[in-house]
Amino acid sequence: MGESNPPAPENNKKQTEKEFWSSIFRHFTSWSGAEREMDTPDTQSGFSESARETEAETSPTTDEASQKEVESWIGTLIFQELLNNPELADMNDMEKKNHIKQDLREIKHKIQESDYDRVKAITDKGEPAPWRRNTNWNEARGRYKAAWREFEKWAMEKGVWNKKDDGKEDEKKGDEAEFNRETEVKPNWVIHETARNMGLNVAIAGIYGMGYAMLAPWKAFELGLRYASQLTDNEQYTRGMMEKLFKKKREKSTKGEPKKEEWNKAKEYEVKQKVKKIEMQYIRDLKDQIVEQKAQGGKEPGEEYATITEERKQELRDGAGKRGYENVWRTLRVHWIQEETWDIIDEKEFRDIIHNDFKLRDLLTQEEYSSLRKLKKEETRLKKEIKEDPNHEKKGLDGDLRHTQEGIADIENRKKVRIDKMGWPEYKRGKKKGGAAAESFVVTETEDEMDENEED
C-alpha cells in the first residue's frame, strides 16, 4: 500500500456535503429526530438505507404527541440543519434565504423520487426498499412542509420574506406563493399505479394508433386541437392552423364561414410564420453560397469570413441576393401549393406578403436599399419640420419633401415592377392551369434584363 495522501479539497467538500444531507434526511426516517444514532446514510439514494437496521427499534411516538406536533418538531430540526449548513457561513440573510430555498427544493425532489422508487419497487414485485417500511410517505411530506414553515418564520424575522413582489397586489407572486407551490408535493404514485393498471390497454392501443377508433373521429380531432393550442408556444400560429382546419370542416357542413377578418388575420400570420421559416433557410443558403463563392474566388481553405473585405462581402451579398430571393420565392410557392392555400391567397394578400415579409434587400440592390432608407428618414424629418415651421413654404421645404417622396416612389416602383415581373403574372397563369403549372415557374431574368425590360 502506498503512502496515504491527504484528501483532496474536492473530496473534503464532497464529504462535508454528504454529511450535511445525511443529517437532513435522517429526520425523514427517524421518529425521535436527531437523538437517534444511525449510520451515515448514502445520500445518493436520498433516504437512509441503514434505517433497515433501526427498524426493529422504531416505534412511533404518536401516543406522546399528535402527529402534527411531531411533524412540527421534526420540521424545526430539519430547518435548523439547513440553517447550519457550513456553506451558509459567509452569507448574508438574503443569500441564506435563497440557498435554503434551493435545499428545500432538493428535499422535495428526493421525496418525489422516493415516491417513484416505491412504485417501481412494488410494480417489480420486489420488496419495497427496506427503509420505506419505516417511513410513511405522507409523514415525510408533512415534515417537509413543517420545515418550510420554520423557514418562513425565520425569513420573516430576518426581514427577507417577501409577501408580494414590489408591493404589487398580485397575490400570486413573492415568497408566499412559492411556499404554496413548493409545499404542494403530490402523492401521485398511488393514482399513477392504479390508473396505470386500469388504463394500460387504452394507452397502449393509442400508442399504436388504434386508440383513435375508440373516440368519435371529430371528437378526437377537437381534443387534438385543444391540445395543440395548449402545447404550442405560438398561439397565433396554432389559431391559424385551427382556423384552417375548421374552415375545411365548415366547408363540408352548413354552419357558415368563419369571420373573414379573423380568418384572414390568422391565415396571414400563418403564412408569415412560414415565410419567416423560409427566410431563415434563405439566410442559411446565402451563407452557403458565400462560402462556395469564397472557394471559387481562390481563397485559402479555412479562411474566416471575417477576413474578407467589406467590398467583397457586398459583392457576394449582391450576387447571392437575387438567387437567394429566387430560392425563397420558389420554396414559398411550392409550400403554398402543398398546403392547398394557393387559391386562398388573393392578389392583395400576395402583395402584402411579398412587400412586408420579404426583406427589401431581396428586391433591391444594396445601393437602392440604402438610398430608400435615407430618403424615408429625410421624409420624416421634412414632414416634422413643415408641421412645426410656419415659414416652411418660403424655405422651400414643401418642394424638398416632394422631391424626396418622388425618390421614394421611384425606388418602390422598381420593387413593384420586379414583383410584377417575377411573381404575380406567373402566379395568375399558374392558378388558371392548376398547381402543377405554378410549380414550374422559374425566374430566369437577371436584374439587368429586368431593367432593360422595364425601359422597354
Partner 1 sequence: MNLEKIAQSNLIDTLQLKDTPSNVRQKAVDEAVEIIFESVADRIKAGFSDEEMIQYEHTFHEGSPEQERVEFLQTHVPNFEEIVAEETFRYKYLTEIMVTALTE
Quick count: other Cβ atoms within 10 Å of Cβ 112?
Answer: 18
Backbone angles phi, psi at 292, to 5 degrees: -60, -45
Q: How far is the CB of 154 from partner 1 (least distance, A)?
A: 30
Q: CB of residue 186 vs partner 1: minimum separation in angstroms? A: 7
Q: CA 30 → CA 20, 54, 84, 108, 425, distances in Å? A: 16, 9, 19, 17, 82
* Interface residue with partner 1, options 87, 109, 227, 389 (CB under 8 A): 227
- Residue 419 near residue 354 (C-beta atoms within 8 A): yes
Sign (positive or negative) of CA dihedral 338, 344, 347, 349? negative
In the shown chain, the binding pattern of residues 176 to 215 toward partner 1, with x for contact by CB under 8 A and - for none, equals ----------xxxxxxx-xxxxxxx-xxx-xxxx-xx-xx
Report the nearest approach of partner 1 to the CB of residue 106 (Å): 20
Which region among 95-103, 156-164, 228-236, 250-258 touches partner 1 (by CB under 8 A)? 228-236
DSSP annotation of 244: H
Shortest distance, CB of residue 209 to partner 1, whole angstroms?
4
Cβ 205 to partner 1 shortest distance, Å: 8
Place of cell 431574368: 445
By C-beta, is 41 or 240 nearer to partner 1?
A: 240
Among 34, 220, 337, 360, binds partner 1 (CB under 8 A): 220
Of 181 and 348, the one with the shorter C-beta distance to partner 1 is 181
With respect to partner 1, which residue has the nearer C-beta, 110 or 141? Answer: 141
Here the cell at position 209 is: 394508433
Site for partner 1 in 156-175 (CB under 8 A): none
Please state the closest distance from residue 189 (CB atom) to partner 1, in A: 8
Neighbours of 157 (CB within 10 A): 10
* Contact mark string toward partner 1, 131..150, x via CB under 8 A: -----xxx------------
Nearer to partner 1, 97 or 244 (CB): 244
Residue 124 CA, distance from chain mean position: 36
- Write the binding mask 230 to 249 for partner 1: x where contact by CB under 8 A, - elsewhere: -xx--------x---x----
Output the CA–CA distances (angstroms, integers) from residue 392 to 381, 396, 401, in the order listed: 13, 6, 11
Our CB check for partner 1 shows the closer of 339 and 346 to be 339
Q: Do 371 and 335 contact (CB within 8 A), yes or no?
A: no
User: What DSSP letter does each residue of 182-201 carry, written as one string?
Assistant: HT----HHHHHHHHHHHHHH
At closest approach, how far in Å is the CB of 446 from partner 1? 32
DSSP-assigned letter for residue 96: H
CA distances from 206 to 37, 197, 219 (A): 52, 15, 15
- Shortest gap between Cβ of 208 and partner 1 (angstroms)? 5
* 138 Cβ contact list (under 8 Å, min separation 6): 187
Nearest CB to partner 1, comparing residues 204 and 437: 204
Rounded CA separation 279/68 (Å): 62
| Contact between 439 and 337 (Cβ < 8 Å) | yes
- Name the residue nearer to partner 1 (CB basis): 209 or 302: 209
Count of residues that interact with partner 1, criterion CB under 8 A: 40
Q: 5: which DSSP letter?
A: P
Are 408 and 300 spatial neighbours (Cβ–Cβ below 8 Å)?
no
Contact string (CB under 8 A) for partner 1, positions 91-130, x = contact: ----------------------------------------
Give CA–CA dist 277/331, Å, rounded. Answer: 11
Nearer to partner 1, 267 or 294 (CB): 267
Q: Is residue 66 within the footprint of partner 1 (CB under 8 A)?
A: no
Q: Which residues bind partner 1 (CB under 8 A)?
A: 136-138, 186-192, 194-200, 202-204, 206-209, 211-212, 214-215, 217, 220-221, 223-225, 227-228, 231-232, 241, 245
